[in-house]
Amino acid sequence: MSDPLAALAAVPAVAEAVEAARTACERLRWHEAFRRRWREVRAESGLRAAAASAALDGAPVGVDVLRAWATGGGAPGGGPDSVAAGALRAQAVLEAALPALGGRGGGASVPLPQLVARVHAAAAAGLLPDAELGRPRAGDAHDLRGLGAAPPADEAAARLAALADVVRGTAAPGLVVVAVVHAELLVVRPFAAANGVTARAVARYLTATTGLDPTGAVLPEPGWQAAPAPYLAGAARYATGTPEGVAAWLVASAHAVRAGADAAREVADQVLAGRLGGPEPRG
């Protein structure tokens, strides 16, 4: 049986970028903060990831607002607040599912279809009727319009099922799995809304559970937030299905993870220094 993701990983430019990202994540793992305070680093990184993801979907409420919501300091209303609250709930879902750092196991324990459905149900609450939470759309997608028209609903459902089969049987490096799942969820848009937040949260979970970043703290999301046009353009190039477009997305994803490891290191430094809750990080 062929392994298309492994074939992608063998492309020289992709292999080089993947190795650089893996090395950056490995260096992060040995930061002193992860000896006893990994939960704090993971939680703070999660807040920043959720804030950046919400901003990418048009809800730039900021880290401090999400931190207040997470600690019971106010209930979000409608509009952009619902998007941001969904990003925060999606982050909580994936954090609850992540294995403890240094614990036994470490593989993805939640099958991809179930993971996607759980995350979407959290992300889309307040945006869609309850009957549509975690369920593939029956009509059109209403978000991520910068990627052009989404595939018809039946095609989207078929691609999501095929993606689950490919991920289950691949031997490709974790980063390739993460990048392909991320892109497919953006491009296919399997739900009527909240596809962006769902794609990034699922990618975040897989980044940890594939072994790429067992800390669960790597922060590519602020980098995407700082450059939303290239982020969507990369997904659009991936959607063409050309070898060049797919490879470019994989390389860009690897670069984002490498930068995200540096961003997570800054969070770890802040945890050790007791500076949590200060100014939001740039980009």
187 is a domain residue: yes
**279 occurs within a structural domain:** no
Within a domain: 282: no
At residue 107, the pLDDT reads 45
Total domain count, the chain: 1
Does residue 123 form part of some domain?
yes
Over residues 233-262, the pLDDT tens digits come to 999 999 999 999 999 999 999 999 999 999
Is residue 74 within 8 Å of residue 68, measured between CB atoms?
yes
- pLDDT reported for residue 276: 72
Q: Domain of 262?
A: 4-273
Place of tokens 């080089």: 16
For residue 266, the domain's CATH number is 1.10.3290.10
Asked if residue 261 belongs to a domain, the reply is yes
Which structure tokens are listed for 14? 């992709």
Q: Are 175 and 11 in contact (CB under 8 A)?
A: no
| pLDDT of 282 | 35
> Tens of pLDDT along 160-183?
999 999 999 999 999 999 999 999
Per-residue pLDDT of the chain (283 residues; tens, 9 = 90+): 689 999 999 999 999 999 999 999 999 999 999 999 999 999 999 999 999 999 999 999 999 999 999 887 665 656 678 999 999 999 999 999 999 987 654 444 689 999 999 999 999 998 999 999 999 999 998 888 888 889 999 999 999 999 999 999 999 999 999 999 999 999 999 999 999 999 999 999 999 999 999 999 999 999 999 999 999 999 999 999 999 999 999 999 999 999 999 999 999 999 999 877 544 433 3
Distance CA 147, CA 252 (A): 17
